Amino acid sequence: MDRVNSFKFSSSILKKAQEFGADLVGITSVAELKECPSYTAAPKIPQVEVGQRESDLEPGEVDWPAGAKSVIVIAISHPEDEPELDYWYGKHAPPGNQKLVDTVDKLIEWINDNYEEVEAHHIPYHVEKGGIFLKDAAAMAGLGCVGKNNLFVSPEYGPRVRLRALIVDVDLPVTGPTDFDPCADCEKYCLQKCPQGSFSSIIYEAAEIGQEILPGRIGNYSRFKCNEQMEKDIEKAEERNEMVKHEPSGEMVQLLKYCRNCELSCPIGKE
Ligand code: B12
């Protein structure tokens, strides 16, 4: 028995997360997550420079907080008819990201107020800053699966969600994984819609990476091609020079819209 009643704690946290804005919430264990495909593949997969900062962490290495036991992962829906949730406002991160940050912050504040014996940590987004692989966490927490588009896909919202997590130093009952797999019999609209052909050929072999579960499931997702599209999106934003007022800063900023074809083309979670 832990220092807190883990069943009571976990059922309260699942309820609170939804009250504070999460559309989906689940729990997985740190021990299980450490064995997941992204952790074992990342050290063997060349990384793209994604505005990469100086870091002492090796690819796939996580700066787990001391005593880390359970991951609470939340998802916030980013529906097609609310595209602005995903826009970058100059250097300001998308409003949807702010929603995720606020929800996790509120949860941690609630834990601190009600369970002072529990240590809770807000996990950063960037893996090189000690973040975790969020799609693996969401799949392990039973919120859905990792689809052929290499995105986490939920029954409720398809891949049109964004993820974030907090970690606590208490063993909690896990909520997953599930056997949900809508990609099995799908027409693979997502793979055809990528403007860069990021899924057009196998680039990672199971023997080379040392595991069967690969990017895009079968090793056909190229993060380099995908990243090229994002670079083009930045160029397009500069050409368009669409200036808007950012709230709450009040600054006039340039709007940046990244490609979302692999998620918007997915039929799952659409009526
Ligand atoms: C770095 C990064 C990028 C890089 C590289 C992407 C990559 N996959 O490598 C770039 C800039 C190219 C990028 C692009 C995009 N990204 Co990005 N990205 C990240 C980040 C920070 C880390 C991802 C990473 O390095 N993964 C590790 C590499 C080694 O693995 P992988 O390619 O994902 O492949 C693994 C999985 O597929 C896994 N897997 C496959 N099947 C199964 C089954 C099970 C059961 C499990 C557990 C795992 C598993 O195994 C593979 C390894 O062998 C995450 C946030 C985070 N902290 O997790 C966001 C994240 C993955 N990105 C996100 C999004 C939305 C995008 C884009 C749509 C761009 C956009 N408009 O925002 C594209 C889509 C790319 C795609 N189809 O995969 C979301 C995805 C949400 C979702 N529904 O899944 C995340 C989670 C951020 C967030 N806030 O929610 N991204």
Residue 190 lies in a domain: yes
Confidence of residue 53 (pLDDT cuts 50, 70, 90): low
Residue nearest to atom 29 of ligand 1 (CA): 42
Rounded CA separation 81/61 (Å): 36
Residue 271 lies in a domain: no
Please give the C-alpha separations between residue 228 and each of 133, 175, 190, in angstroms, as whole numbers.
Answer: 21, 36, 17
Distance in Å, CA 254 to ligand 1 centroid: 25
Residue ranges with strand state E in 56-153:
70-77, 88-89, 120-122, 145-146, 152-153
Distance in Å, CA 151 to ligand 1 centroid: 6
Residue 102 lies in a domain: yes
Residue 260 lies in a domain: yes
Residue 1 lies in a domain: no
pLDDT of residue 193: 96
Contact (CB, 8 A) for 179 and 172: no
Mutation probe of ligand 1 site: the residue of 24, 28, 135 with most atoms within 8 A of C-beta: 135
Threshold 0.85, pTM exceeds = yes
Residue 269 lies in a domain: no
pLDDT tens digits, one per residue of 3-45: 789 999 999 999 999 999 999 999 999 999 999 999 999 989 8
Mutation probe of ligand 1 site: the residue of 202, 223, 260 with most atoms within 8 A of C-beta: 223
Distance in Å, CA 103 to ligand 1 centroid: 21
pLDDT tens digits, one per residue of 189-246: 999 999 999 999 999 999 999 999 999 999 999 999 999 999 999 999 999 999 999 9
Residue 248 lies in a domain: yes
Residue nearest to atom 24 of ligand 1 (CA): 133
Please give the C-alpha separations between residue 7 and each of 27, 35, 40, 171, 172, in angstroms, as whole numbers.
Answer: 12, 24, 31, 10, 7
Pocket of ligand 1 contains residue 161 by CB under 6 Å: yes
**Is residue 2 predicted with pLDDT exceeding 70?**
no
Report how many domains make up the chain. 1
Residue nearest to atom 47 of ligand 1 (CA): 136
Distance in Å, CA 150 to ligand 1 centroid: 7
What would you report as the CA-atom Rg of the chain, rounded to the nearest whole angstrom? 19
Distance in Å, CA 8 to ligand 1 centroid: 32
Domain range for 76 is 6-264
Residue nearest to atom 40 of ligand 1 (CA): 217
Distance in Å, CA 260 to ligand 1 centroid: 13
pLDDT of residue 1: 39
Residue 14 lies in a domain: yes
Give the distance between the most distant pair of CA atoms in the chain: 60
**Is residue 67 predicted with pLDDT exceeding 60?**
yes
Confidence of residue 51 (pLDDT cuts 50, 70, 90): low
pLDDT of residue 50: 55
